[in-house]
Amino acid sequence: MANKKPVVLRPFKAPRYSFGKLRVCKRCGRFTALSEERCTGCGRAALVPVERRAASLAGRRMAASLLTVALLTLAAAYFAADTAQRALCAAAGLILLAVLFAAQRKARPAENLRALDELLGRNIGAVKEGLELNRQEAVSVLRENDTLAYEKLREIAVLLRGDRVARQRVALLHGFRLRKDMDLEMEQLLLRDFEPLLAEYIGEVARLRRDLIKDRTLRYVQRYEAQILEMKDGPAILAAVAGSAVRMKRYVLLYSSFISRYAHSLPRDRFLRLHQLISACPHESWNGLDVRTREIREAKYRWDPDFG
C-alpha cells in the first residue's frame, strides 16, 4: 500500500453500445476511441461519432435518389413535345418525388442503422488499425503519466475486450491507491489465465466495493483458488471475496463450498449476514454451509446476542 500512488481518475461512463465510443475522421477516415479534439492522422478537427457519420451517409444516399428522380423529371419535361405533355411530365415527376420523399422519411431510422452496420463492416480493418494506434498512444504516455494512460486504456477497453488491454489496465491499477469513490471496474478486467496482480485487485475491490464482485469474478477466484492461496495475502483475498459473495442468497447457494472454506475468516458483519441468510431459509440445500456456520457460531459468537 505504501508504494501506491493516490490518483484522481476522471469519471467514466461506458456507452450503452460499444460503437458509441467510436469516432471517425470525415477527412482521412481514421477511427478513434479516444476523446481527442483533432484527428491524430490528419490533424483536422473533423472527428464525428460513427453513428452521426452513418446518418450523414444515409442522408446523402437518399438525397442522391431524390436528385436522380428530379433530374429524370426535368429531362422528361425538356423532351416533351408540347406544353400539355410538359405539364404532365412535371406533375408526374413531382408526385414521384413526393412519394419517394415520404418513403425516405419513414425509412430513415432503419436506413441510418443499416448505414452504420455497413460503415463498420466495410471499415473493420481501419477500425482495428485505429484502435491499435490508440493503444500505442496510451502505452506511450505510460511513463510520464500513468493516470492518463489508464484513462485512455479504459476508453479503448470499451471496444477491445481482450486480455492484452485488460492486463495493461490491471498492471496500472496495481500502482494506484484505490478508493471507494473511484469508478472501479471488475468484470471487464478478468483475464483468461491467472494473474497475481488481478487477484490482488479483486481482493481490494472486494474490500472497497462488494457490489462489483459478481458471478464471473467468483468463478475466476474459484478457478484459481489454489494459486491465490499461494500468494502472500492469498487467504485474506479469498476471505474478502467470500465476504462479498454473502451479500446475495444466490451466490451463497451457488458458491456454498467456496464460502464454507473461508467462513471462519469472515469479519463479524459478513458472518452475521451469512448466519441471517441461512437462518431465514433453513430448508434450502446449503451443501454443508449451514453446519459449518453453526460450528463457527458456536466457536466464535456463542455469547453474541445478534447471533441468537
Partner 1 sequence: MISYVILGIAFLYTVSRILRYFLRGRRPVDREEIDGRLLAALNGGDRPHG
For residue 21, give the C-alpha cell. 465510443
Candidates 110, 139, 229, 291; binder of partner 1 (CB under 8 A) is 110
Burial label for 96, CB within 10 Å (0-12, 13-18, 19+), is: middle
Please identify, using beta-carbon distances, which residue of 113 and 272 lies nearer to partner 1: 113
User: Of 132 and 306, which has the nearer Cβ to partner 1?
Assistant: 132
CB of 205 to partner 1, least distance (A): 14
CA separation (Å) from 65 to 54, 61, 161? Answer: 17, 6, 40
Is residue 178 part of the contact set for partner 1 (CB under 8 A)?
Answer: no
Q: Which three cell numbers stand for residue 75?
A: 429531362
- Write the CB contacts of 5 (distance below 8 Å, at least 6 apart in sequence): 146, 175, 176, 177
Cβ closer to partner 1: 164 or 249? 164
* 245 closest CA partner among 289, 279, 285: 289
Binding of partner 1 at residue 128 (CB under 8 A)? yes
Span between the terminal Cα atoms of the chain, in Å: 38
Stretch that binds partner 1, among 40-48, 104-112, 236-244, 249-257 (CB under 8 A): 104-112
Q: According to the 3-state scheme, what is the secondary structure of 155-223?
A: HHCCCCCCHHHHHHHHHHHHCEECCCCCCCCCHHHCCCCCCHHHHHHHHHHHHHCHHHCCHHHHHHHHH
In the complex with partner 1, the residue whose CB is nearer, 164 or 294, is 164
Binding to partner 1 by residue 289, rule CB under 8 A? Answer: no
Q: Is 155 in the site for partner 1 (CB under 8 A)?
A: no
Determine the residue type at 139: V
45 binds partner 1 (CB under 8 A): no
159 binds partner 1 (CB under 8 A): yes
Q: Which of 236, 223, 169 is nearest to 194 (CA)?
A: 223
Binding residues for partner 1 restricted to 67-96, rule: CB under 8 A = 68-69, 72-73, 75-81, 85-86, 89, 92-93, 96
Where does this chain bind partner 1 (CB under 8 A)?
17-19, 65, 68-69, 72-73, 75-81, 85-86, 89, 92-93, 96, 99-100, 103-104, 106-107, 110-111, 113-114, 116-117, 120-121, 124, 127-128, 131, 159-164, 166, 187-188, 190-192, 216-217, 219-220
